[in-house]
Amino acid sequence: MEIGFIGLGKMGFPMARRLIEAGHQLTVFDTREEAVEALLALGAQAASSPKAVADRTETVMASLPSLQASLEVATGQDGVIEGERVRRFVDLSTVGSRMAVRIFDLLKQRNIVQIDSPVSGGVGGAEKGTLAVMVSGPRTEFEAVRPALAVIGKLFFIGEKPGSGQTMKLANNFLSATAMVATSEAVVMGVKAGLDPKIMIDVINAGSGMNTASRDKFPRSVLPRSFDFGFATGLMVKDVRLALEEMKQLGLSMEVAEAVARLWEVVIREEGAESDFTAAIKPIEKQAGVIVGGSGGAIAK
Ligand code: NAD
């Protein structure tokens, strides 16, 4: 299948690579030239703008870092909306349901179908093709892209209503964000009391507290203090803010979500948007006066 792919970052690059390896012909675009060059070396063709991608392919996928980037790439000047061949725009980014619907409506005016398709499972999942892919939009259009999307992960059809995939993704990421900060607080509490954080994580993972942070993030990026899991704090905060917005739009006031959101605002203020989201433990450590992990294990300051 001929596929356009825009946004070749931490997630987009491995997804695009898997599509090439599965035999699809890719036309790619990214504002970073080095990302494009790396894909050309794997057999993709380059285009000079989102419009140029959409001039050449019926199906255009995108994996972009912000709501504004998705809106501009899809509907802005020189955007996908101006393309001559394009029939469907598959957005793999997390943009929230309101933005997804806005893009759906704008593209619809040009007979282009927006297919909402946010993903979960991180860079590792993108590399292995094991992402959870949450698709919403017209069923027939989903069927048209099913073989290509199956290359990047396990497909879940959430519904025909535009934006439903985004609501699903935000529910998931709210839980992931909560697991990260809640596990950080639990482990910092233990370390402050003199417990070994490695033993704590082993116990949690054998017990009922096990979650994605204790299972994946702590062993790989927090205990070794490498803070390199591959998801930026700025992106996590975007998702948490979007989840809160979604809840408010639905007339809901949710206590855990609000506490978790407050904590992530501290993380982005103190660690910066570019930090890895596993650095969320650092402000919690700072307040407690302990450091978790590293070569010395638990170090009381
Ligand atoms: P990233 O910042 O690594 O990649 C984004 C890419 O888009 C970059 O290569 C950037 O140069 C490019 N880009 C930005 N603006 C552009 C534009 N106007 N035109 C063309 N290219 C442009 O981000 P990422 O971590 O790959 O995340 C991408 C999306 O996937 C986000 O919506 C994120 O929330 C979501 N996501 C990320 C992860 C993860 O673990 N990193 C997991 C699930 C979902």
Q: How far is the CA of 186 from the centre of ligand 1 (A)?
A: 31
Q: How far is the CA of 239 from the centre of ligand 1 (A)?
A: 13
Boundary (domain end) residue, out of 162, 183, 201: 162
Testing ligand 1's pocket by substitution, the residue of 17, 36, 64, 275 carrying the most ligand atoms inside 8 A of its CB is 64
Whether the pLDDT of residue 260 is over 80: the answer is yes
Q: Are residues 172 and 269 in the same domain?
A: yes
Q: Which of 51, 169, 238, 282 is catalytic?
A: 169
Per-residue pLDDT of 22-43, as tens digits, reads 999 999 999 999 999 999 999 9
Q: Are residues 177 and 158 in the same domain?
A: no
Q: Is the CB of 77 under 6 A from ligand 1?
A: no
Q: Are residues 155 and 179 in the same domain?
A: no
Report the DSSP beta bridge partners of residue 115: 90
Testing ligand 1's pocket by substitution, the residue of 11, 133, 217 carrying the most ligand atoms inside 8 A of its CB is 11
Q: Are residues 115 and 258 in the same domain?
A: no
Residue nearest (by alpha carbon) to ligand 1 atom 41: 231
Per-residue pLDDT of 86-145, as tens digits, reads 999 999 999 999 999 999 999 999 999 999 999 999 999 999 999 999 999 999 999 999
Q: Are residues 50 and 64 in the same domain?
A: yes
Q: Are residues 218 and 250 in the same domain?
A: yes
Q: Are residues 187 and 156 in the same domain?
A: no
Boundary (domain end) residue, out of 162, 188, 213: 162
Q: Is the CB of 231 under 6 A from ligand 1?
A: yes
Domain count across the chain: 2
Q: What three-state secondary structure class fits 111?
A: coil
Q: Are residues 194 and 287 in the same domain?
A: yes
Q: Which domain holds residue 184?
A: 167-300
Contacts of residue 203, defined as CB under 8 A and 6 or more positions apart, other chains included, come to none
The helix (run of H) or strand (run of E) holding residue 26 is strand 25-29
Q: Are residues 214 and 144 in the same domain?
A: no
Confidence (pLDDT) at 299: 47
In the residue annotation, 169 being an active-site residue is answered as yes
* CATH code of the domain containing 88: 3.40.50.720
Q: Is the CB of 237 under 6 A from ligand 1?
A: no
Q: Is the CB of 61 under 6 A from ligand 1?
A: no
Q: Are residues 48 and 155 in the same domain?
A: yes
Q: Is the CB of 230 under 6 A from ligand 1?
A: yes
Per-residue pLDDT of 164-222, as tens digits, reads 999 999 999 999 999 999 999 999 999 999 999 999 999 999 999 999 999 999 999 99
Confidence (pLDDT) at 294: 81
Boundary (domain end) residue, out of 132, 162, 192: 162
Tokens (6 digits) for 237: 């905060």
- Exposure letters 202-236 (e unless 16+ CB within 10 A, then b): eebeeeeeebbbbebbbbebbbebebebbbbbbbb
Residue nearest (by alpha carbon) to ligand 1 atom 27: 65
* CATH code of the domain containing 290: 1.10.1040.10
| pTM, 2 dp | 0.94
Q: Is the CB of 79 under 6 A from ligand 1?
A: no
Q: Is the CB of 64 under 6 A from ligand 1?
A: yes
Q: Are residues 79 and 9 in the same domain?
A: yes
Q: Are residues 127 and 188 in the same domain?
A: no
